[in-house]
């Protein structure tokens, strides 16, 4: 049976609850997309804007997975950029810079064009815990200045931070006013509504059982089939399709979030008067921001073991109070978690597997921006332009053998290594 949205702050504050039908019978379209999260919906809208006939099939609800559960931070960059540079050469640097911001541009344009109410706001602060983090921040500042966006970024000293985010936990930081934050589930649902108005057919509560490949691939479900010219697999951490093709490449990584009751004006003025999204630079990181109704949304504790804490609240609250002991009396209204798709080399699986089979998944925690870039890249490729897709398609991906369980243990060991690095 299809599962409802997890009991998150986002699900409790959706503008519209989707109610698309279950697939019944046979359909025919240009492009069949499996997965109704950001990747699937963003790709569908990009294709619909170009005149393609598209069907999207979602096992649960639109935005059910990581799309509707994440921290809502809109951060620039291409995941796995270092590896992409090594494989493609320095000539790809300008293209990587452009692609690193394209997801932002797509989201901003769609919010304006389609009137999507998703609390989009700019302002982001990267914070340093270690001296090496500060050195990395200073290098980033120099790079941004060379790239011509120096007016949008500002180095923040340790002495300034208490006035900006109400804590002296960090050594310093970098404010970037081109990044920001938003309500991810409302964005995804708003994009789905826009795509539906352009003719995209959405089906919820419809599990895909398998794909029959060929010149006219057929996506088969328990209640019907979709024949198309092209298939896009966009299921990310939750799909189990085609193990021969995808097994050992994508692994679920858990991330967990709590949301307080709304803060008072005085509390907001003390801890985040600029309304910034904040993220530290640890490998096992914390991230936090204020919601539109001024709740503290605090997340982190990414784990690669597949285990969910017995109590997300008890797991996350001490980490929040270590940074903000002044919030000890605040009620925790929501706690939730979910899995994001992680690729071992961090480069997303934005690629063409056959002439008419594509995938978009595995953003390793950088999904809000990257999913929208991926949708545009795949729309280009389906239309016959492969320049940007080839940048990702050239990457060799390490496949962990012996199935997902063993792979999760391998990745968990790697995560322990990075956690130890954080502690040093």
**What are the extents of the domains in the chain?**
121-181
Helix orientation angle between 81-88 and 93-114, rounded to the nearest 10 degrees? 130
Are 38 and 188 a contacting pair, CB within 8 Å? yes
Mean pLDDT, residues 307-323 taken together: 91
Are 24 and 205 a contacting pair, CB within 8 Å? no
Given this model, what pLDDT does residue 241 score?
A: 85
CA distance 176 to 320: 23
Question: Residues 25-71: pLDDT tens digits?
Answer: 999 999 999 999 999 999 999 999 999 999 999 999 999 999 999 99
CA distance 393 to 113: 31
Given this model, what pLDDT does residue 415 score?
A: 54
Given this model, what pLDDT does residue 304 score?
A: 57
Helix (H, G, I), strand (E, B) or coil at 249: coil
Q: Would you state the CATH architecture of domain 121-181? A: 2-Layer Sandwich (3.30)
Percent of the chain with pLDDT over 70: 93
**Tokens 């963003």, located at residue:** 42
How would residue 225 be classed by pLDDT, with cut points 50, 70 and 90? Answer: very high
Given this model, what pLDDT does residue 187 score?
A: 98
Helix (H) or strand (E) holding 33: strand 25-34
Given this model, what pLDDT does residue 397 score?
A: 85
Residue 404 has pLDDT above 60, yes or no: no
Greatest Cα pair distance in the chain = 64
Are 176 and 162 a contacting pair, CB within 8 Å? no
Given this model, what pLDDT does residue 95 score?
A: 96
- Say which residue, 237 or 310, is predicted with more confidence: 310
Question: Residues 198-210: pLDDT tens digits?
Answer: 999 999 999 999 9
CA distance 144 to 234: 32
- Give the torsion through C-alpha atoms of 259, 264, 270, 272, to 10 deg: 50
Question: Residues 159-206: pLDDT tens digits?
Answer: 999 999 999 999 999 999 999 999 999 999 999 999 999 999 999 999
Structure tokens given for 25: 């019978």
Q: pTM for this one?
A: 0.94
Residue 18 has pLDDT above 80, yes or no: yes
Residue 353 has pLDDT above 70, yes or no: yes
Question: Residues 62-112: pLDDT tens digits?
Answer: 999 999 999 999 999 999 999 999 999 989 999 999 999 999 999 999 999
- Count of H-run helices and E-run strands, the chain: 13, 17
* Distance linking the first and last C-alpha atoms of the chain: 46
Mean pLDDT, residues 281-297 taken together: 94
Mean pLDDT, residues 262-269 taken together: 98
Given this model, what pLDDT does residue 245 score?
A: 83
């Amino acid at each position: 049976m299809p599962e409802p949205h997890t009991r998150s702050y986002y699900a409790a504050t959706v503008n519209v609850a989707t109610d698309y039908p279950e697939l019944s019978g046979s359909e025919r379209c240009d492009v069949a997309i499996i997965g109704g999260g950001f990747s699937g919906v963003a790709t569908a809208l990009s294709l619909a804007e170009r005149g393609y006939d598209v069907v999207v099939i979602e096992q649960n609800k639109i935005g059910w997975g990581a799309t509707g559960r994440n921290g809502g931070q809109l951060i620039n960059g291409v995941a796995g950029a270092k590896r992409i540079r090594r494989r493609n050469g320095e000539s790809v640097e300008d293209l990587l810079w452009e692609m690193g911001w394209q997801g932002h541009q797509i989201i901003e344009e769609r919010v304006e064009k389609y009137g999507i109410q998703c609390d989009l706001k700019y302002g982001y602060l990267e914070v340093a815990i270690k001296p090496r983090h500060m050195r990395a921040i200073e290098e980033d500042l120099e790079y941004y200045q060379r790239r011509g966006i120096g007016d949008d970024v500002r180095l923040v000293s340790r002495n300034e931070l208490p006035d900006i985010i109400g804590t002296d936990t960090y050594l310093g930081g970098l404010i970037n006013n081109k990044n920001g934050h938003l309500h991810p589930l409302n964005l995804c649902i708003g994009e789905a509504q826009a795509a539906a108005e352009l003719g995209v057919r959405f089906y919820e509560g419809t599990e895909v059982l398998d794909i029959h490949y060929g010149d006219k691939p057929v996506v088969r479900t328990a209640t019907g089939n979709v024949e198309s010219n092209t298939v896009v697999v966009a299921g990310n951490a939750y799909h189990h399709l085609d193990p021969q093709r995808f097994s050992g490449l994508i692994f679920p990584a858990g991330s967990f979030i709590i949301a307080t009751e709304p803060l008072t004006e005085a509390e907001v003025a003390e801890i985040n008067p600029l309304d910034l999204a904040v993220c530290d630079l640890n490998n096992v990181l914390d991230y936090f921001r204020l919601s539109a109704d001024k709740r503290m949304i605090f997340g982190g504790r990414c784990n690669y073991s597949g285990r969910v804490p017995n109590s997300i609240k008890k797991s996350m609250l001490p980490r929040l109070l270590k940074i903000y002991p002044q919030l000890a009396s605040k009620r925790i209204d929501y706690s939730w978690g979910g899995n994001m798709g992680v690729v071992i080399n961090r480069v997303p699986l934005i690629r063409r597997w056959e002439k008419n089979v594509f995938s978009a998944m595995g953003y390793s925690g950088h999904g809000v921006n990257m999913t929208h870039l991926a949708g545009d890249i795949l729309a280009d490729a389906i239309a016959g332009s492969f320049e940007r897709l080839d940048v990702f398609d050239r990457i060799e991906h390490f496949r962990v053998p012996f199935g997902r369980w063993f792979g999760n243990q391998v990745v968990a060991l790697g995560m322990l290594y990075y956690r130890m690095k954080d502690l040093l």
